[in-house]
Amino acid sequence: MTEPRDPAGWFAPDLAAGSPQADRSALSQPRGPLQVARRQQLLEALQRDGAMRISDLSQALGAAPVTIRRDIAQLAAEGLVRRVHGGVALIAPGEPADDASALDTPLSGRALGMLVPSLDYYWPDVARGAEEAALELDMRFVLRGSSYDADDDKPQLERLVDRLGVDGLVIAPRMDAPTAGRTVDWLAHTCVPVVLLERTATVGAHHAVLESVVTDHALGAAMAVRHLVSLGHRKVGVVLDANSPTRPHVRRGWLEAVAECGLDPAATVEAVVPDARSPERDGLLDDVLDRCRATATTALLVHADAEAIALVQHCEERHLSVPGDLSIVAYDDEVAALFSPPLTAVRPPRRSIGRAAVRLVADRLADPDRPTHRVVISPSLRIRESTAPPRLP
């Protein structure tokens, strides 16, 4: 395997598959019999079917998209074809050939692979944002779903790169799996740009970072605490989802904001609860309400929506009013607005996360030597009916 040249683990630009430099390098290489035959087949396909997309040519000729793009670059340089939106067409008699600048527009028709751990919660909006950005760039979008229970994401990623021929990856790998280190190392040394979604990672002895786009979840938690304190709450607790990778960031933001507001985190409630599949969940939620009463806690930040909704339902069973007896802020805002009462919630910028990740891949493809970028996007606070000033004693 070719060694990476820059500290983020990206391949040297003259070796990056599908890069403009690689296309130009391919033009100068001697053509073998297979290349000549394949390019002749490409011309014959165009004469038969007219303008064609790169993806269709790749399937018809049994060659990877990056190989087809190199063939097109060679044929365009020879004045035989012209590049069109997402594909290629024959040059009509009297029509001017492509100029050299066409070789510097590498995004049209390229494939972007996306792997996320869920296709039914949180991640669909991230995927929609990524798809929108890919379509704007005329990139083909390939979405795959993994699982929070997956032991190894690497086989899925290898299929995206090796079999489907994607030119870049935006992914949210499982970072707590036993194979996570091996996966991250593979990502750092693969032949395509990689951007992590809602994850960060480092590689090598010098801890070089991989490119990433993340939500500032700590800021979101702090926004929720400051909102509750502004209403007059002096004991603001936190309830966290045991299985979420976002949990440590939400907890950190809660701790920092509570300290900043002069409150004592030890004097209120801090709890971690399992998901709905656990038989212990209901008992732990009841315990949270018992501890709220014992500590005179009047407000909670609850991650995520499902836990916040379940907690409100437990309040109803115990004849506790929300927000009268207990103000609640949900974290995620996936379904919080649909509940009754509509829940005040912190909303991560899901679509913006997807869009920003695609832009990072596109920028890396256009400029392989650019510095490593880590993008942090702020969430927003949506104030609804589940928060109010505490009742006077």
Regarding whether 333 and 236 lie in a shared domain, the answer is yes
Report the CATH number at residue 252: 3.40.50.2300
φ/ψ bin of 208: left (φ > 0), alpha (ψ from -120 to 50), beta (otherwise): beta
What confidence score (pLDDT) does residue 135 get? 87
Regarding whether 96 and 121 lie in a shared domain, the answer is no
Closest CA to 166 of 271, 18, 308: 18
Regarding whether 315 and 303 lie in a shared domain, the answer is yes
Q: Can the peptide bond before residue 304 be classed as cis, meaning omega within 30 degrees of 0?
A: yes
**pTM for the whole structure:** 0.73
How far is it, in rounded angstroms, from Cα 246 to Cα 210? 19
Please, which residues have CB within 8 angstroms of residue 384's CB and are 6 or more apart in sequence?
336, 337, 341, 342, 343, 344, 345
Query: Residue 50's domain spans which residues?
Result: 20-104
Report the CATH number at residue 76: 1.10.10.10
Regarding whether 200 and 100 lie in a shared domain, the answer is no
* Phi and psi torsions of 303, nearest 5°: -115, 115
Regarding whether 323 and 266 lie in a shared domain, the answer is yes
384 found inside a domain: no
268 found inside a domain: yes
Q: Long-range contacts made by residues 275-278, C-beta under 8 angstroms, separation at least 24? A: 275/241, 275/242, 275/243, 275/306, 276/306, 276/310
The whole-number mean pLDDT for each consecutive block of 10 residues of the chain, a chain of 393 residues, reads 31 33 39 79 87 84 80 81 77 61 58 93 95 89 87 90 92 90 92 95 90 98 98 98 94 98 97 93 97 98 96 97 97 96 97 97 91 97 98 79
Closest CA to 309 of 289, 329, 279: 329
178 found inside a domain: yes
Regarding whether 362 and 333 lie in a shared domain, the answer is no
What confidence score (pLDDT) does residue 86 get? 63
> Domain boundary at 50, 69, 104, which?
104
Regarding whether 159 and 71 lie in a shared domain, the answer is no
Regarding whether 344 and 358 lie in a shared domain, the answer is no
Number of residues in the chain: 393
343 found inside a domain: yes
> Domain boundary at 72, 89, 104, which?
104
97 found inside a domain: yes
> Domain boundary at 59, 82, 104, which?
104
Closest CA to 70 of 2, 145, 140, 16: 16
What confidence score (pLDDT) does residue 28 get? 39
Which letter does DSSP use for residue 329 in this model?
A: E
- The count of structural domains within the chain is 3
Regarding whether 144 and 65 lie in a shared domain, the answer is no
Q: Parallel, antiparallel, or unpaired for β 87-90 and 52-53?
A: antiparallel
Max CA pair span of the chain:
88
Regarding whether 201 and 187 lie in a shared domain, the answer is yes
What confidence score (pLDDT) does residue 110 get? 87
Place of tokens 């916040």: 308
How far is it, in rounded angstroms, from Cα 167 to Cα 115? 14
260 found inside a domain: yes
Regarding whether 59 and 80 lie in a shared domain, the answer is yes
Give the ranges where 83-232 is alpha helix by DSSP (H).
Answer: 123-136, 154-158, 180-189, 217-230
195 found inside a domain: yes
7 found inside a domain: no
Regarding whether 274 and 263 lie in a shared domain, the answer is yes
